[in-house]
Amino acid sequence: MSSLSKAEIEDIREVFDLFDFWDGRDGMIDAVKVGDLLRCSGINPTIALTVKHGATIKQGEKQYKFDEFLPCYEAILKEKETGTYADYMEAFKTFDREGQGFISAAEMRHVLTGYG
């Protein structure tokens, strides 16, 4: 039994159908597109996380029907990789040289353009 609401299933079905439309309208999507499909639905998983739950690196290795894809989606949704508040605070402290509790716009621009 799915832990997703009917509305959530309809939303992910709509994205799945769009990918299927561009992939031949056969009711299936290639497993290599699982990460892209998830990103289009608002989730931003790593490649490693998608592969762990059924995505592939090479095209043509595996195909998913919607009913087969849904458990992968749920598993990735539950395991969404996020940092903790402490992780983010530690990262910002690295760039807060004066210890004032904020980063200047120039410093943030330097960090984002210099380090990605």
Q: CA-to-CA distance for 26 and 49, rounded, in angstroms?
A: 26
Q: CA-to-CA distance for 46 and 65, rounded, in angstroms?
A: 22
Q: CA-to-CA distance for 80 and 63, rounded, in angstroms?
A: 23
Residue found under tokens 């999507």 = 29
Task: Output the pLDDT for position 108.
Answer: 81
- CA distance to 2, 27, 29, 30, per residue, from 65 (Å): 16, 6, 7, 9
Domain architecture of the chain: domains with CATH:
6-78 (1.10.238.10), 85-115 (no CATH)
Contact 38, 32 (CB under 8 A): no
Query: Shortest CA distance to 72 belongs to which of 42, 46, 48, 38?
Result: 38
Assign 93 a pLDDT band (cuts: 50, 70, 90).
confident
- pLDDT of 37-81, one tens digit each? 999 988 888 888 899 999 999 999 999 999 999 999 999 888 866
Give the Cβ contact number of residue 105 at 10 Å: 8
